[in-house]
Amino acid sequence: MSTPPPLSQDQLKKLALLEPSLRLCVKSANLDRAKDITYKIQLILRPTGHETRLLHSKNWLFETAMEANNLSFAKLGFEGIIKKANEGTRLSLEATSLLAICYLREKNLEKAAPLIIKAISNIGNIKSEERRKQFHRRLIERLEEESILVGLRDENGATLDIATVDQEAVALIMSKNEDQILIEMGKAIPKSSIDILKTVRTTYQLNLPKPDIKLLPPPLTEDAKLELGKRASSALKRVAWRALCSPDSEVYKAWSQGLSVVYDKKYIAGAIVTSFTSFSISATMIAASAAALAIKFGAEVFCETFAPSGLMIDRTKK
């Protein structure tokens, strides 16, 4: 791509409002809003040839599609960015990594593996060891979270019962602290998740230059229930956060105001059951642990602490 002229003050002013709004769409999985904002960004950037910055925005758009579980749209988008972006650039690396996550969500390890390998190769282009370490950590932890999430999905599982989930959540709240709840969550991680975790970690390490192996965080193991629980909680926030923390939802409005009706009417358990069911997650203890953590933290702390984080960095902050 040829070098475009510097962005005008008018362009920068408009982008300063639009780009942060687009990034927020990833957390809320608001694909319609993301499409609208991306179209407005395109009208600003395309006439002056700022295609690279536009592609960065489109990465946010397609990550939003992925979080909204519109994997077909997301995959087509990331594939298009990979074709347009220069090989070895951060833009290409992020699109490749996110495309790998799309296939991992589909349990398609055959297609995810070569993309993970390609991403690892591109990370090697980052000259700073600290920045390579940062991206390796972000990517491997995200891949591990997705491995747990996809292993929890059971298309043939029994439907979660709100009353049972609420009852188990109350029992956890009354008898266990935060770490103990996370341990219970770790114990409930199925073997399918563990198996995918091992496959992904092995694929990653076997294709990593030996000097960079030290840059990876310690592997998750079946025996480390607390760490498994923490990573499972981090993975599930991509589902639970949207159910509980969307500012437009009645649950959040009541919960953030401290109204006891949220607990009396089992709203939190109900919101989690509904969202988990949409992802085909049917493990009662997983749902109960998530509900217990939400109730223990409260609306403000939970929604801030457990907000989903994206894989990409914000390049617009100077």
Buried b (16+ CB within 10 A) or exposed e, 46-71: eeeebbbbbbbbbbbbbbbbbbbeee
Q: What percent of the chain has pLDDT over 90?
A: 65
What are the pLDDT digits (tens) for 292-309?
999 888 888 888 888 887
pLDDT confidence band for 242 (50 / 70 / 90): confident
pLDDT for 249: 76
**Which run of H or of E encompasses 4?**
none
- Residue 316: C-alpha distances to residues 57, 88, 136, 213, 273 (Å): 11, 20, 22, 31, 37
Q: Which residue has the tokens 């519109």?
A: 70
Q: Is the pLDDT of residue 278 over 90?
A: no
Verdict on whether the full-model pTM lies above 0.75:
yes
Q: Is the pLDDT of residue 310 over 90?
A: no
pLDDT for 314: 54
Tell me the average pLDDT across 237-244: 83
pLDDT for 182: 95
Q: Is the pLDDT of residue 254 over 70?
A: yes
Tell me the average pLDDT across 49-68: 96
**List of domains in the chain:** 9-125 (1.25.40.10), 152-229+243-305 (no CATH)
**Taking all residues of the chain, what is their mean pLDDT, rounded to a whole number?**
90
Largest alpha-carbon pair distance within the chain?
63
Q: Is the pLDDT of residue 315 over 60?
A: no
Tell me the average pLDDT across 187-212: 92
Q: Which residue has the tokens 């995959």?
A: 75
What are the pLDDT digits (tens) for 89-131?
999 999 999 999 999 999 999 999 999 999 999 998 888 999 9
Picking from 151, 133, 247, 158, the residue whose alpha carbon sits closest to that of residue 192 is 151
Q: Is the pLDDT of residue 316 over 60?
A: no
pLDDT confidence band for 259 (50 / 70 / 90): low
What are the pLDDT digits (tens) for 216-239?
988 888 888 999 999 999 888 888
- Name the β-bridge partners of 281: 153
Picking from 158, 147, 62, 156, the residue whose alpha carbon sits closest to that of residue 107 is 147
pLDDT for 175: 95
